[in-house]
Chains A and B, each alone.
Chain A
């Protein structure tokens, strides 16, 4: 069986600066993979290449057997890849409910005219979208905030809402970009549980970028370490932790801090 996500020799440069070089990764269905590395190692660029924000200069990128190269971001998203962002990107002035409803925008199958004329199909579809969004909000413990503008939520809940919105699209794969950034140890532990729960509950395939070693080591059976745009080590947490190049590039600097 071929992997759900297959990336081979993908490279990308900004001007003369090589951000990602010969990146190869294949992720099997229902796997959790962690992506670690110091700042500027190219982790987020990998996410941006997968989701179509940047177009890879070289390499192949296949999801579920078909190539993603050259597709605009919204079509890549519709193939079943959802993501969250390093800096939270919610629809701040819209309600929490609207944020999640927008996650399942692919369900808006009625036309513009149906909306303008308020045809029965409009009411039916909107009711279904609303029900699903409310059910998701309940699962994520956000139901009581449904009517609140997203930017009025506290930080931790905004992170949670972003994940909830990502799941509303019924993705097969989620890309989580530093979900525990800026969280205290207790919140990090909650995030570990949330990620695990999500992964199993929605039978996802998850790729995770994270700086919190504890979280990555706990959640991901397989980890890729990057530095200067290249994969420097790949393997289970114990292997990564003791790998000399990783220690040098990443954990070493952490100790120094």
Chain B
């Protein structure tokens, strides 16, 4: 019981200290606007990478369209708060996430009917569809983008969504359902013949991941106050994939770390201009040669894992 209280206290601290501390430090002038912005970007990217890690890392499927789902959430939430209606931030974000989740579910049904890499092809196609749709719908600005989104996003919002994302995925993974999700990655045939509804669990993992991608889209739209179709193209998807594999795809902590390192590194290398887009991939190659499982492998921070058997 005592360890449980301690564990809970650690989580409460993890959730609350940054949510309160960062705005406090900012008001004191210790964290300047630039660092604050970087912190927010790290948070949004962390939601994206942790959620993608559920699919590509834990369930062993390969989604290639995470930015597409992010775009769905971003556009829908932005329209709801700043254009068609004046919805508050929270419901708009949830609706954006749900929309992405439902699309993910719909895409997942045919994709998971067959074994193999169909999910990659279908999600890649979906990503292109989302970008092209956004480019061709004049109501949301078409290729010019969608300006004037109310700047609802602040650090506490991002942080609380990130904590929620981590808690949901952690509690799912360390449960009987999570075991089933990982068994698909380990040996799909054995899982199926062992009485596990493989298709159901692939859909569960994928839909939850898409939901959080949509949420991250809304957070990012209300942070940047402007979204354009190319923000959600395949390059953004690659960015998220890099974060996942950099940190370690089979670990929540790894995905988290990947988002932090990758985002901070791209910022730190800003002086290099276009060359930073060369440094990053080289780093990735080096990592894949010397440490295929990513920096963290399948390990977890102790506060993420907790008292698991």
Contacts and interface: CB of A to CB of B under 8 A. Distances in A.
Interface of A: 51-53, 72-74, 77-78, 82-83, 85, 89-94, 97-98, 101-103, 105-108, 110, 112, 115-118, 122, 125-126, 129-130, 165-166, 169
Contacts of A169: 194-195
Given A53-B189, A89-B187, A116 B172 contact: yes
A52 B189 CA distance: 11
Chain A at the B interface: mostly helix, strand, loop or mixed?
Answer: helix
Given A94-B182, A105-B196, 8 more contacts: A73-B193, A74-B196, A77-B192, A90-B186, A102-B194, A102-B196, A112-B204, A116-B171
Given A94-B183, A105-B179, A108-B176, A77 B204 contact: no
Contact of B177 (A91, A93, A115): A115
B309 interface: yes
B164 to A, nearest CB: 10
A105 B193 contact: no
A115 B205 CA distance: 14
A105 B194 contact: yes
B178 interface: yes
Nearest to B169: A116
A125 B171 CA distance: 15
B59 to A, nearest CB: 13
Contact of A97 (B167, B183, B193, B309): B309
B165 to A, nearest CB: 11
Contacts of B136: none
Interface residues of B, number: 28
Interface in B276-300: 298
A178 to B, nearest CB: 15
Nearest to B187: A89
A52 B198 CA distance: 14
B168 interface: yes
B171 A118 contact: yes
B90 interface: no
B171 A91 contact: no
Given A51-B193, A112-B204, A102 B183 contact: yes
B298 A91 contact: no
Closest 7 CB pairs of A and B: A108-B176, A91-B186, A115-B175, A77-B195, A89-B190, A73-B192, A116-B171
Contact of A98 (B167, B179, B191, B193): B179
A78 B197 CA distance: 10
Nearest to A169: B195
Contacts of B309: 97, 130
B180 interface: yes
Given A105-B180, A108-B180, A116-B168, A92 B175 contact: no
